[in-house]
Structure 1
Amino acid sequence: MSDAMTTPHEAWSAATRFALYYAPPRASVWWRAGCAWLGRDPESGATLAPPQPAEIEKPLASLAVAPARYGWHGTLVPPFRLADGVTPQALLAATQAWAARRARFEVPGEAATLGRFVAVRAADEAGAQALQSLAGDALRTLGSLRAAQTPAELAKRLDAPLTPRQRDYVETWGYPYVFDEFRFHMTLSDSLDDAPTRAALMHAWNAQMRDAGALPVDGVAIYAEPQPGAPFVLWQRVDFPAQVQP
């Protein structure tokens, strides 16, 4: 990884948002395939040529604009600004201390439709529960490093059809889909009205990943959005230990 990716960028400011994401190991087929699908590698900064499944009429890049900006990932702790006095290095140190207590595991994954989206999900309930637990633990551990929401941010989040529990989560944690509402996913498409296109994308991904094996959850990654609306970059990978100390 280049120095630009491993040290705080000079353009970072109080408006920079950070997120704790699951990112497949860099050497894995899951990382290479996902980055290629979205057309960029958020870790190296490389622009990639997306595949073009024969059954998809439109260019794949035109069907995954938003996921490409966020980079290939599965959200664990949603994007947030740092609280006053909290530095990116403090966030990294807290993440490393948390990760040192976590164990590695694997989760069978497959593409599925998620409303009007296509995304990689855990293929069984045990994997879904393991990822939900991981995300909840991370949010509780790192939550104190988040800046308080502005009134505008809170109003924007609450201006949606939410359950009372989800509204409570927005007010407390800044996001409605956490803890028991959390559903792990790695987004492969924009919101698409066309059901046949969603089905074709799902089948194309599953066909190319038929022999990929399970998702290796060997660690997490801190992503950064340097400026509002800018592409997210993978700033730091944080590995789980090969063996957790008792």
Structure 2
Amino acid sequence: MMPPHADWSATTRFALYYAPPRDSVWWRAGCAWLGRDPESGETLAPPQPAELARPLASLTVAPSRYGWHGTLVPPFRLADGVTPQAFVAATQAWAARRSRFEIAAEAATLGRFVAVRAATESGAQSIQDLAADALRTLGSLRAAQTRAELAKRLDAPLTPRQRDYVETWGYPYVFDEFRFHMTLSDSLDDAPTRAALTHAWNTQMRDAGPLPVNGAAIYVEPQPGAPFVLWQRVAFAEQVPA
């Protein structure tokens, strides 16, 4: 197990994300698109789709900081007494009882963003169930929100259910409010640019096949505002015995 880094502190945040297998086209394409490999730390040259008038890198600033991923458990600080090693062990135990699966996936416009999402209802439900199970299993390892963190989360147009989720789980979009996505752009007002990005991604991934959900990954934000790094991968079982 890789040791914690020297610059980690009480403000360091951890997250459980979905990350495609390192040897897959889904991983290579997503990291290149965002210009950064959060696992190796390598800076990459993004492609430049012919449909775009602006450099792709200028449209992916926020998702590049977070790294190529799909959220399962949103970023949080560890509770008092919970070490990074304990969080890894708990995550490995959770992963060992999950089976691998695949989902069809495609890029689409989600509000003002472009993101990869499940292309079928069954695929969306499978990964929603995965995220809910992860949050329920690992939620006790999260530090309680500070008043400032809670106020910041609640200072948004939320439904009563979403506000309840913020107060209980620290994030509004969990359980039935969860929508799996792997972000490909910043928030963009320009609909033609969003359409061009969507078309460019789907064109380049036309022959990629389904998205393999073979495991999850622990990402770390060492200091507030720093780029997230992929610290540990955890593998799902080939098949969990019935």
Q: TM-score range with shorter-chain normalisation?
A: over 0.9
Tell me if the contact between 1:224 and 1:233 (Cα under 8 Å) persists in the aligned partners: yes
The partner residue of 1:213 within 209, 212, 231 is 209
* Structure 2 counterpart SS, 1:85: coil
1:160-205 deviation digits (Å, cap 9, x = unpaired): 0000000000000000000000000000000000000000000000
1:141 corresponds to which residue? 137
Alignment of 1:197-208 (within 5 A): 197-208=193-204
1:48 corresponds to which residue? 44
* Structure 2 counterpart SS, 1:172: helix
The partner residue of 1:65 within 54, 61, 65 is 61
Tell me if the contact between 1:13 and 1:226 (Cα under 8 Å) persists in the aligned partners: yes
| Residue 223, structure 1, aligned to residue 211, structure 2 | no
- What is the number of equivalent residue pairs in this alignment? 242
* Structure 2 counterpart SS, 1:75: strand
> Alignment identity in percent?
85
Tell me if the contact between 1:136 and 1:178 (Cα under 8 Å) persists in the aligned partners: yes
Alignment of 1:1-80 (within 5 A): 6-80=2-76
| Residue 132, structure 1, aligned to residue 128, structure 2 | yes
RMSD: 0.8
| Residue 96, structure 1, aligned to residue 92, structure 2 | yes
Structure 1 residue 137 displacement after superposition: 0.2
**TM-score, length of structure 2 as denominator length:** 0.99
Tell me if the contact between 1:121 and 1:185 (Cα under 8 Å) persists in the aligned partners: yes
1:177, 1:244 → 2: CA distance? 28
Structure 1 residue 243 displacement after superposition: 2.4
| Residue 157, structure 1, aligned to residue 153, structure 2 | yes
2:48, 2:170 → 1: CA distance? 37
1:179, 1:243 → 2: CA distance? 24
Q: What is the identity, as a one-letter code, of the residue corresponding to 1:162?
A: L
| Residue 121, structure 1, aligned to residue 117, structure 2 | yes
Structure 1 residue 242 displacement after superposition: 1.4
The partner residue of 2:106 within 100, 110, 121 is 110
* Structure 2 counterpart SS, 1:133: helix
2:218, 2:128 → 1: CA distance? 18
Moved over 2 A (4+): none
1:81, 1:61 → 2: CA distance? 29
Runs of 5+ consecutive residues of structure 2 not aligned to the other structure: none
2:168 corresponds to which residue? 172
